[in-house]
Amino acid sequence: MDDGSLSVASPEPGGHVARPVRTTCPYCGVGCGVLATPDSSGGATIKGDPAHPANAGRLCSKGSALGDTLALDTRLLEPVVDGARTTWNTALDHVAQRLEAIRAAHGPGSIAFYLSGQLLTEDYYVANKLAKGFLGTPHVDTNSRLCMASSVAGHKRAFGADAVPQCYDDLELADLVVLVGSNAAWCHPILYQRIQVARGERGMRVVNIDPRQTATSEGCDLNLAIRPGTDQVLYNGLLVWLADRGHLDHEFVSRHTSGFDAVLASAREAAPSVRQVAAATGLDVSDVELFFSWFGSTRRVVSCYSQGVNQSAQGTDKVNAIINCHLATGMIGKPGSGPLSFTGQPNAMGGREVGGLANMLAAHMGFSDSERDRVRRFWNAPALVASEGLKAVDMFEAIQRGEIKALWVMGTNPAVSLPRADRVRDALRKLDLLVVSENVMATDTLDLAHVRLPAHAWGEKDGTVTNSERRISRQRPFLEAAGSARADWWIMGEVARRLGFGTAFSFTSPAEIFDEHARLSGFENTAASPADRRAFDISGLTGIGGGGYDALEPVQWPVRTGSAPAERLFADGGFFTPDTRARFIATSPARLASPVSEQWPFVLNTGRIRDQWHTMTRTGLSPRLSTHIQEPFVEIHPEDASRLGLEQGTLARIETAHGAATVRVLLSRGQKPGNIFAPFHWSAQNSSSGRVSSLVHGAIDPVSGQPEAKATPARLAPVAVTHYGFLLSRTPLRPEGMAYWAECRALFGATPGFTLHLALDTDAARMSDWQRATLPDGDWITLEDAGAGTFRTAVFRDSQLEAVLFLSASPKLPATDWLRTQFDSPCDLAGRRTILAGKPVTGGADEGPIVCVCYQVGSRRIEAATLGGCATTKEIGTKLGAGTNCGSCLPEIKRLIASTMAASRAAAE
């Protein structure tokens, strides 16, 4: 059997493909096209694909750094069963036998699959078919439950199908873009940049609705720092305003929708006046009025929403409250106007298309008798499941209770990313069989697995993904598979074959799987009316064969046989409901799942940072990306901090009813008092106690089952330590006895190294013992002021710097940026002293914290250039290069210019 490994442009002499392979970025749902040109040593040069409609050649910081993630040193290269490396045959036999035994003893419902929006559509399709069609377990869910489920449910309620009406070009055609619960500057950077260009060129307005100030706020005309969880009040108020001020599209409402009057009446009850909206949302009346009047007076409005909407206990209602306003004004499916859900993962959309969610079957079919019958016949699968399976949070509860005994995890890291992550980790320990298909050799989830299966990683993967605008793009392989890694679909197909389902899983290539998927999408799907048709239809792509599949250009669905692909949907109605009308949906009253209390006075909001992807298994490998933010942190308003005795750079222990984490304190006036924010990227692999999802409660949206990751009641307190410090070293060092640590890769000039940020709680007398146990051999030079708590040691070998340890009683340590550059060149005796000073004698070369990771430009250099006369991001770019590659840092450069100018004006006065 074909192992699905490689079929690309023919290799040149020397064994590598010299021309660029067109593929797709494996990170966010923007789905940027990438040109990857492999080198002869297993790496590749990465560039944006100018021909891809999503990005037209641009890549953000994460995409640009993909080349840093291709090395094999952290890859899982062989199958491992019960801790021992083994062959594929043994591992696959083992998985099949154990699944069979568990199924025989406890029934098919004791087996579950937990999948990921990072799998390719073809992998996803096979997983779903195997579980729901042949093993007979309905318990197939995915990390998209944590991500897109509320949008899916909202779309289905309003449109009758999970179909996004808009396309990316609308972001440039709009006159008003509203970002709701989206930090697009960091999370969908290329779309954010497209918006910013249009804003600059056409004067388009941008409104940002987010409880905290983010990098996204920098490029917005109006920032609404909404009280968490009250978005639907704002949107109910907007609906009332639109109705009262004559902004409705009566014709659209009467011809293409139903339920308007009742929903308007309920919106009036929920949000009778602007004043009441302002009171409920914590916004100024004038800001609310400005937003409403902009929305009402603009004919081209695009509303983009992301996790601030989806990840809440009323996420589905929030989605529908937004869609209601678009339906009421007829601003849907038109150039420059409509609702546009930003998807998270590269294939969040593809997973939905194949039915990866527990409450869907396949190709947009559900569990009605007729749909089940249709899928059963198509798959020839008599054992097809009868009803919906458990959604993610409930699935892990069933594991905890011992009802689910076998779990196969693919492409996700639930021990880090699910709410109540400590409880999830405990649940995983209870399983009789935990199979994990992974790219890397260690994650918090993989560490608990009985069976570890090495899967193709990006660069090896071969298949398709669908982005936020319904555009299907190819991920094409450009590297040989690492070790004995195999395609996820191949692994499952081999298990299926061993279970006796060979006929249904005889695929020998992803093209064959895609073909079956495309055929199913068109199967009995030819009705003229959308009332009797399914939205997802790519039957026009059936029969394209291996060659057509390899050459497939990015294309938006639907692609029906005989008609052109649709850029936009629903401009003239045609919704996928029984009467082809869209539904207005009334929302329940706004509330957080658990209110704050005296015991838990803060609302803990969690999310992402610019240069890390989720649990850092890949972005964490890039020293460049690690320069931006190096440690887990909590953002807190300075007044809250001072009340609690927390200072900038000290450590705080955040606690909730579910767990605790110790992270660095960052004071931020962009955070409202009473609210705190922490990113969820860190795990037990790279931090002592930075697993932020262990804090998050398990409250879910009752409609979508999506957890409310943005609002857990919490408290926090200072962590007392005697020393703060960092350790820079060429190889990773994890000394014993630290009160806190967080490790990241770092660039030591041109060479890679490691940074360990740490804190100790120990008396000074024991310090030299600790240092001796910690630091590598070599020539040590030391600076010590025990009274002040200062210890600085540099270790040299052959006049090359080997390691640097700085400890201080104060959290105010020198930045590591300059020190890291000192590992590159030999160091004379005078130089050694300077190293212990932690900064250059002349001051000239000190970058300060890195802002632009592409060109490694630090804040000090940007400040100096600003003082030297650069007043715009463009001028900074011309002078320093900063911001001119991926552009991800432009919001921060803008902020730095503003703050430097303000400081210089203040100094002049």
Ligand X SMILES: Nc1nc2c(c(=O)[nH]1)N[C@H]1C(S)=C(S)[C@@H](COP(=O)(O)OP(=O)(O)OC[C@H]3O[C@@H](n4cnc5c(=O)[nH]c(N)nc54)[C@H](O)[C@@H]3O)O[C@H]1N2
Q: How far is the CB of 413 from Mo ion (least distance, A)?
A: 12
Scanning residues 26 to 45, which ones bind ligand X (CB under 6 A)? 28
210 binds, among ligand SF4, Mo ion, ligand X, none (CB under 5 to 8 A by kind): ligand X
CB 637, CB 672: distance < 8 Å = yes
63 binds, among Mo ion, ligand SF4, ligand X, none (CB under 5 to 8 A by kind): ligand SF4
Nearer to Mo ion, 617 or 873 (CB): 617
Binding mask 858-897 for ligand X (x = CB under 6 A): ----------------------------------------
CB 693, CB 639: distance < 8 Å = no
Phi, psi of 625 (to 5 degrees): -70, -25
Residue 357 in contact with ligand X, rule: CB under 6 A? no
Residue 211 in contact with ligand X, rule: CB under 6 A? yes
Residue 231 in contact with ligand X, rule: CB under 6 A? yes
Nearer to ligand SF4, 450 or 618 (CB): 618
CA distance from start to end of the chain: 77
Q: How far apart are CA 855 and CA 887, in angstroms?
A: 11
Residues 6+ apart with CB under 8 A from 520: 362, 363, 375, 378
Q: Which residues pair with 700 in a beta bridge?
A: 707
Residue 317 in contact with ligand X, rule: CB under 6 A? no
Q: How far is the CB of 141 from Mo ion (least distance, A)?
A: 14
55 binds, among ligand SF4, ligand X, Mo ion, none (CB under 5 to 8 A by kind): ligand SF4
Residue 160 in contact with Mo ion, rule: CB under 5 A? no
String of b and e for 369-379 (b: at least 16 CB within 10 Å)?
A: eebbebbbebb
Q: How far apart are CA 597 and CA 582, in angstroms?
A: 40
Nearer to Mo ion, 339 or 344 (CB): 344
Pick from 35, 60, 66, 147 the residue near Mo ion by CB under 5 A: 147
Residues 6+ apart with CB under 8 A from 472: 121, 350, 464, 465, 466, 538, 552, 554, 555, 556, 557
Residue 151 in contact with ligand X, rule: CB under 6 A? no
Pick from 33, 344, 346, 858 the residue near Mo ion by CB under 5 A: 344
Q: Output the residue with the shortest Cβ distance to Mo ion.
A: 344
Residue 459 in contact with ligand X, rule: CB under 6 A? no
Q: H-type helices in 450-581, by residue range?
A: 488-498, 510-522, 545-550
Cis peptide before 558 (omega within 30 of 0): yes
CB 226, CB 281: distance < 8 Å = yes
Q: In 3D, which of 589, 147, 601, 484 has the Cα closest to residue 347? A: 147
Q: How far apart are CA 764 and CA 571, in angstroms?
A: 71
Total residues contacting ligand X by CB under 6 A comes to 62
687 binds, among Mo ion, ligand X, ligand SF4, none (CB under 5 to 8 A by kind): none
Side-chain-facing half-sphere of 196: CA atoms under 13 Å: 20
**3-state SS class at 839:** coil
Nearer to ligand SF4, 191 or 880 (CB): 191
130 binds, among ligand SF4, Mo ion, ligand X, none (CB under 5 to 8 A by kind): none
Side-chain-facing half-sphere of 431: CA atoms under 13 Å: 31
Residue 613 in contact with ligand X, rule: CB under 6 A? yes
Q: How far apart are CA 703 and CA 315, in angstroms?
A: 9
Residues 6+ apart with CB under 8 A from 571: 332, 333, 334
Q: How far apart are CA 541 and CA 409, in angstroms?
A: 30
Pick from 115, 692, 801, 835 the residue near ligand X by CB under 6 A: 692
Q: Output the residue with the shortest Cβ distance to ligand SF4.
A: 63
Residue 181 in contact with ligand X, rule: CB under 6 A? yes
Residue 412 in contact with ligand X, rule: CB under 6 A? yes
Q: How far is the CB of 621 from ligand SF4 (least distance, A)?
A: 15
Total residues contacting Mo ion by CB under 5 A comes to 2
Per CB under 5 A, which region of 163-171, 336-344, 580-588, 641-649 contacts Mo ion?
Answer: 336-344
Binding mask 97-126 for ligand X (x = CB under 6 A): -------------------x-xx-------
**3-state SS class at 206:** strand
Nearer to ligand X, 121 or 312 (CB): 312
Nearer to ligand X, 129 or 534 (CB): 129
Q: In 3D, which of 112, 117, 4, 79 has the Cα closest to residue 437? A: 79
SS (H, E, C) 580-617: CCEECCCCCCCCCCCCCCCCCCEEEEEECCCCCCCCCC
Residue 186 in contact with ligand X, rule: CB under 6 A? yes
Chain positions contacting ligand SF4, by CB under 6 A? 25, 27-28, 30-32, 55, 59-60, 62-63, 189-190
- Element counts in the chain: helices (H) and strands (E): 29, 34
Residue 656 in contact with ligand X, rule: CB under 6 A? no
Q: For binding to Mo ion (CB under 5 A), which residues are involved?
A: 147, 344
Q: For binding to ligand X (CB under 6 A), which residues are involved?
A: 28, 62, 116, 118-119, 143, 146-147, 180-184, 186-187, 209-212, 214, 226, 228-229, 231, 306-308, 311-312, 344-345, 410-414, 416-417, 437-440, 443, 455, 461, 488, 605-608, 610, 612-615, 617, 680, 692-693, 696, 709-710
